[in-house]
Amino acid sequence: MNSPIRAAVKPYPFYVRSADGPYLRTVEGEELIDYVLGYGPLILGHRHPQVRKAVEEQLEKDWLYGTPYELEIELAKKIISHYPSIDMIRFVNSGTEATMAAIRLARGYTGRKKIIKFDGCYHGAHDAVLVKAGSAVSHYGLPGSAGVPEEVSKLTLVVPFNDVETVEKVAKENQDDLAAIIVEPVMGNAGVILPKEGFLKELRRIADETGAVLIFDEVITGYRLGIGGAQVRFNVVPDLTTLGKIIGGGFPVGALGGKREIMEKLTPTGPVFNAGTFNAHPVTMAAGLATIKELERGYVYEIANKAAESIVKVLEQEAVSKFGGVVNSIASMFQWFPKAEKVENYADAQKADKNLSLRLHEELLKRGVFIAPSMFEAWFTSAAHTKDVVERTIEAITEALKVL
Ligand code: PMP
């Protein structure tokens, strides 16, 4: 396997041969209802006909130019029209590349070195952000990563999510050298953790007061919480935004966008280097544009959010009432934190019973439902999670809970 969380399915990972709509089909011919959805990108479900059509049309024309072309501009314009923070955008190949470039850009723009990140937020697999990270880093209980020099890690200041006082204190103490505050506006890599009322606005204020660049990492939340992501939903405009997952329609992608004044510091107009052989890959741009056009029709959010709402209700009625805990949810993403009283930051999440969460994954898998094998991920729903699919899922949840 090629990404660590995939090995967390025990006793060994199942292998998939094909997928369609809400279903994964394993090599043994088993059909699984998928709530992982490629860890977030597939908000339309697997193999959506419009995405497939756009990709086939692009393949007809060729799949790599190494020059500018029209489709990348079309997708760029679309995203710029949806995201208030984005005047200019650069497409890269993963969320990792996006946050790596965004942090370098913030450093280049401010001439400062340090960044603030939040405990349990995951921003990809590069040195600056592998400090108290979520996702598979938490699942495997790692503090960060071996191989990251201490000299690099110490430039990353980690503070608790939803704690304005600590952010403000650390930001002001390091003001002269603080390049950026990077945050997942809704945490999606430590389960799902929502910002408290006003928290994101306070981050905006602290960034303004200290001259740090505010980066919203919307790799998960972008187009998932709605067309304009978290920034529109919570009405807070960051300086830079990173995107990924959904904007590539299931193909490798990342993007960073933001204020013109900052974005112009990127090469070739500025001195902060970014480049990529596969940046703005034609097949990805075709799939991303087709996906976003479907999202603009509205039905996707209606179905996906309704599916999430129904499952959340059942988890609250059946799982929480039997074992305690809380279900945190927004739009089409959610997570149950067994036995936790409230989960407002990563420390709270760690108090939940992650083994019980893992047991639910195991018992659901036996009943044809695939959720992430870690409490430090989210359940995702899609336009393919229609009423009958959700009803079958609810039956499986009810049965699984009986044996937990
Ligand atoms: N940022 C966030 C918020 C993410 O959830 C992820 C991946 N789950 C990344 C960055 C990294 O993206 P990628 O895996 O495409 O490198």
Percent over 90 (pLDDT), the chain = 97
d(CA 25, CA 395): 20
Q: Is the CB of residue 320 less than 8 Å from the CB of residue 293?
A: no
**245, 301, 348, 354: which one is catalytic?**
245
d(CA 103, CA 116): 11
Q: If you measure from the C-alpha of residue 99 to the centroid of ligand 1, how many angstroms do you get, rounded to a whole number?
A: 9
Instruction: Say how many CA atoms lie within 13 Å of 153 toward its Cβ.
Output: 12
Choosing from 91, 103, 121, 220 the residue with most ligand 1 atoms within 8 A of its CB, the one to mutate for a pocket test is 220
Residue 217 Cβ inside 6 Å of ligand 1? The answer reads yes
pLDDT for the residue numbered 140: 85
Atom nearest to 97 CA in ligand 1: 16
Q: Is the CB of residue 180 less than 8 Å from the CB of residue 117?
A: no
**Domains annotated on the chain, with CATH:** 4-48+298-403 (3.90.1150.10), 49-296 (3.40.640.10)
For CA atoms 394, 395, 398, 402, give the dihedral sign: negative
Residue 210 Cβ inside 6 Å of ligand 1? The answer reads no
The residue-averaged pLDDT of 210-226 equals 98
- What integer best gives the mean pLDDT of the chain? 97
Residue 93 Cβ inside 6 Å of ligand 1? The answer reads no
Q: If you measure from the C-alpha of residue 369 to the centroid of ligand 1, how many angstroms do you get, rounded to a whole number?
A: 24
Neighbours of 32 (CB within 10 A): 21
Task: Give the pLDDT confidence of 159-202 residue by residue, as tens digits.
Answer: 999 999 999 999 999 999 999 999 999 999 999 999 999 999 99
d(CA 338, CA 341): 9
Q: If you measure from the C-alpha of residue 257 to the centroid of ligand 1, how many angstroms do you get, rounded to a whole number?
A: 16
The residue-averaged pLDDT of 375-404 equals 98
Choosing from 189, 219, 278 the residue with most ligand 1 atoms within 8 A of its CB, the one to mutate for a pocket test is 219
* Residue 269 structure tokens: 């107009």
Task: Give the pLDDT confidence of 39-55 residue by residue, as tens digits.
Answer: 999 999 999 999 999 99
Q: Which amino acid appears at position 388 of this protein? A: D
Residue 230 Cβ inside 6 Å of ligand 1? The answer reads no
**23, 109, 122, 346: which one is catalytic?**
122
pLDDT for the residue numbered 142: 83
pLDDT for the residue numbered 143: 80
* More reliable by pLDDT, 207 or 138: 207
**119, 163, 217, 348: which one is catalytic?**
217
CA-only gyration radius of the chain, Å = 20
Name residues whose C-beta falls within 8 Å of residue 356's C-beta, 6 or more positions apart in sequence: 323, 338, 339, 404
The residue-averaged pLDDT of 339-359 equals 97
Whose Cα sits closest to atom 10 in ligand 1? 123
Confidence check: pLDDT of 137 > 90: no
Residue 122 Cβ inside 6 Å of ligand 1? The answer reads yes
Name residues whose C-beta falls within 8 Å of residue 96's C-beta, 6 or more positions apart in sequence: 123, 124, 125, 126, 254
Residue 130 Cβ inside 6 Å of ligand 1? The answer reads no
Angle between helices 299-314 and 282-296 (to 10 degrees): 80
ipTM above 0.90?
A: yes
Q: What is the pTM of this model?
A: 0.98
**Residue 217 a catalytic site member:** yes
Q: If you measure from the C-alpha of residue 250 to the centroid of ligand 1, how many angstroms do you get, rounded to a whole number?
A: 13
β-bridge mates for residue 266, sequence order = 272
**Quick one: how far is CA 17 from the chain centroid?**
25
